Chain A
């Protein structure tokens, strides 16, 4: 079953194209890495898939639903590289709120488990807006994983993370993947690319590679023109 599909998806800002017509499908349970130089269109593609950005042309579907619809939002978890938090709620309250919004009533055990894994248990009652860059990223990770999802879109997840944080995140990816979730991860961490089954590469908004990471020189793919 297809979890994410785009059809002639395009985005331009004024006269400047950010994404050339893109047609692709990602099957359920796949773990896909998305690479490309800065400004290649990775975040644009992710945001359009999450429903945060309107396409100039074409369409995106999450499962069988148009991106951004209520059903699509139920299926999709979005982990941004620029996490945002309420400045008057603790991390624990954030977890409660996000989990319950997605219909999870028994959320406490899952939240405690995530905090433990990522190393934020001692900070659970603190306000995440006061956290350092790395801790904010960790807090955002717990929020992305505390709710159920079929597809997770992740933008630059390793930025600011220390080594234990990176390892914990990789374990969470593996667990989600083994539970049948689909992962699309945009990253500049080329060592991570070896761990996925499929690699997509964008250059100047154009898909220049779609295949196994082992069949290509990944470093050459991320060079700008």
Chain B
């Protein structure tokens, strides 16, 4: 009977595929692909031009040869850590809820029924790894010995091998029900070993993976072992599919459906929220600290209560984002301008994470509208508690930048610039949260938006918040320019801090006035429409 059941399952999948293909708006899909290609390709070209084509010095080449495999191997170990944690939390698979109810509870061979979702998951992870590997590879090929094409190919191989390792580790961790603490401990132990390999030139667990990424330059046949290991780990994981937990699949199914919808709608705030739920991240039942009695105003009290319940995992994650932002800013100081994009993303996500009180308020529009306070006023007051909470993360960012730059001359500029930059960068997150909020000023009547405008609106929806964070991050360029021209870096940092502060004020003012401006704009448009209608009827 099981073979028959599988035939039925395959038949169902074919039929659903036909339905889905029939429902696709091909013009819309093609337009989205066009936008992604345009902006994605443009970004890669900009990064490529910013990196430059001049080859690095002989010393730097020797340094890359010595440290490259261990350093790149860190990425693999991070992927391994992420994979094991994903598996321990019920990942990496996510089925639709009815698939859990009807397929997984039917007498079908579960392993064979799950093969397609696994293939899809592995395929998407490998594609992502391949694309990132190829982009980074070709960038490396511009400065290092070896052809860019060869570097792109080896980067692709590295990306795919790392993605397979991630997927395999996740499947195994899931099947053996690896406890989360153990997955984290094992992953961190691997990461520590790899770090030791980097620091003291020991054999690292992922050195072969890193060395595989450098095949564009020189080839060591032993590096193929990395690809073999990744494939074996994946095959072992697939072989354990029978042990897949329905409990986890059922829990993830509804969240993943919402996540896909949020991604489709470019609703980044919801994506972050759902990812937290997917990872079973709960706010603390007992807050880290009680709201001080002397703070009597309800809005800051509510904000502090929210921030004080951040779970330890989120605080660790936010610390990592802040530290990474500091490292990337240090790279910008050293001349790698495209690292600004990374800083912008780090600060943007840090903002989304920190602005929980604002997000919660935005998520409850009915309650917000019932309060005797204007919405803009309410939202802007909700920025205060998260802004205070971001101060320690600004310290982390400054400290990591100073450590990477390795000079005491960096301390003063970092101390001056860190907080305004972190806050202004987080303002990108504020823009995203407020823009994605349900709009109480909008009437229920839908307005027709032509595809060209819809595409532009989509690009703005995602791009504008990141742009705000990028402007905040780019204040470091003032300091770099001052250093290169021999003028005061402290003065430049002060100017940067003022610019970042102005950006913060601008975003706060926008949050405060946005509803009023939108109401006025709508009124203006509707007056115009009424006037046009009147003119037509009289003529």
**Which of A's residues lie within 8 Å of B, judged by CB?**
50-54, 68, 70-71, 73-74, 76, 78, 80, 83-86, 88-89, 93-94, 97-98, 100-103, 143
A101, B8: Cβ atoms closer than 8 Å: yes
Q: How far is the CA of A102 from the CA of B246 in the complex (A)?
A: 19
A97, B105: Cβ atoms closer than 8 Å: no
Q: Does any Cβ of A come within 8 Å of B536's Cβ?
A: no
Given contacts A89-B19, A94-B102, A101-B8, 9 further A-B pairs with CB under 8 A are A51-B105, A73-B105, A78-B101, A84-B100, A85-B98, A98-B102, A101-B5, A101-B103, A101-B108
B246, A101: Cβ atoms closer than 8 Å: no
Q: Does any Cβ of A come within 8 Å of B315's Cβ?
A: no
Provide the residues of chain A in CB contact with B110, threshold 8 Å. Answer: 70
Docked complex: B88-116 residues within 8 A CB-CB of A? 96-98, 100-103, 105-110
A86, B4: Cβ atoms closer than 8 Å: no
Closest B-chain residue to A78, C-beta based?
Answer: B105
Q: Mark B242-254, 1 if CB is under 8 A from A, else 0.
A: 0001110010010
Provide the residues of chain B in CB contact with A74, threshold 8 Å. Answer: 1, 107
**Which of B's residues lie within 8 Å of A, judged by CB?**
1-2, 4-5, 8-9, 11-12, 15-16, 19-20, 23, 96-98, 100-103, 105-110, 245-247, 250, 253
Provide the residues of chain B in CB contact with A80, threshold 8 Å. Answer: 101
Closest A-chain residue to B8, C-beta based?
Answer: A100
Q: How far is the CA of A89 from the CA of B1 in the complex (A)?
A: 24
A-B pairs with beta carbons under 8 Å apart, 21 shown: A51-B105, A52-B247, A52-B250, A70-B107, A70-B110, A73-B105, A73-B106, A73-B107, A74-B1, A74-B107, A83-B101, A84-B98, A86-B96, A97-B12, A97-B102, A98-B106, A101-B107, A102-B5, A102-B107, A103-B1, A143-B102
B5, A68: Cβ atoms closer than 8 Å: no
Closest B-chain residue to A72, C-beta based?
Answer: B107
B106, A84: Cβ atoms closer than 8 Å: no
Scoring B101, B245, B247 by chain A CB atoms within 10 A of each residue's CB, the highest score goes to: B101
Residue in contact with B106 in the complex, picked from A71, A88, A93, A102, CB distance below 8 Å: A102
Distance of A103 from chain B, by nearest CB (Å): 5
A86-B98, A88-B16 are contacts. A53–B5 as well, Cβ < 8 Å? no
Provide the residues of chain A in CB contact with B20, threshold 8 Å. Answer: 88
Distance of B518 from chain A, by nearest CB (Å): 32
Q: How far is the CA of A94 from the CA of B8 in the complex (A)?
A: 12
Q: How far is the CA of A103 from the CA of B109 in the complex (A)?
A: 13
A101, B106: Cβ atoms closer than 8 Å: yes
B246, A52: Cβ atoms closer than 8 Å: yes
Q: Which 4 A-B pairs have the closest CB atoms?
A: A84-B97, A74-B107, A101-B106, A100-B8
Q: How far is the CA of A54 from the CA of B177 in the complex (A)?
A: 11
Residue in contact with A101 in the complex, picked from B9, B245, B253, CB distance below 8 Å: B9
Q: How far is the CA of A97 from the CA of B20 in the complex (A)?
A: 17
Closest A-chain residue to B245, C-beta based?
Answer: A54
Provide the residues of chain B in CB contact with A100, threshold 8 Å. Answer: 4-5, 8, 11
A74-B107, A84-B98, A102-B107 are contacts. A68–B16 as well, Cβ < 8 Å? no
Residue in contact with A89 in the complex, picked from B2, B5, B16, B108, CB distance below 8 Å: B16
Provide the residues of chain A in CB contact with B247, threshold 8 Å. Answer: 52-54
Provide the residues of chain B in CB contact with A73, threshold 8 Å. Answer: 105-107
A103, B102: Cβ atoms closer than 8 Å: no
A68, B246: Cβ atoms closer than 8 Å: yes
Q: How far is the CA of A125 from the CA of B450 in the complex (A)?
A: 33
Residue in contact with A70 in the complex, picked from B2, B11, B12, B98, CB distance below 8 Å: B2
Distance of A57 from chain B, by nearest CB (Å): 14
Provide the residues of chain A in CB contact with B96, threshold 8 Å. Answer: 86
Residue in contact with B101 in the complex, picked from A54, A70, A76, A84, CB distance below 8 Å: A84
B5, A103: Cβ atoms closer than 8 Å: yes
Provide the residues of chain B in CB contact with A78, threshold 8 Å. Answer: 101, 105
Provide the residues of chain A in CB contact with B100, threshold 8 Å. Answer: 52, 84
Closest B-chain residue to A103, C-beta based?
Answer: B1
A93, B15: Cβ atoms closer than 8 Å: yes
Q: How far is the CA of A53 from the CA of B246 in the complex (A)?
A: 7
Distance of B15 from chain A, by nearest CB (Å): 7
Distance of A141 from chain B, by nearest CB (Å): 14
Q: How far is the CA of A54 from the CA of B90 in the complex (A)?
A: 13
Q: How far is the CA of A112 from the CA of B239 in the complex (A)?
A: 41
Closest A-chain residue to B113, C-beta based?
Answer: A101
Closest A-chain residue to B108, C-beta based?
Answer: A101
A70, B19: Cβ atoms closer than 8 Å: no
Closest B-chain residue to A90, C-beta based?
Answer: B19
B98, A103: Cβ atoms closer than 8 Å: no
Closest B-chain residue to A85, C-beta based?
Answer: B98
Q: How far is the CA of A101 from the CA of B4 in the complex (A)?
A: 7
A97, B8: Cβ atoms closer than 8 Å: yes
Q: How far is the CA of A79 from the CA of B97 in the complex (A)?
A: 14
Distance of B313 from chain A, by nearest CB (Å): 16
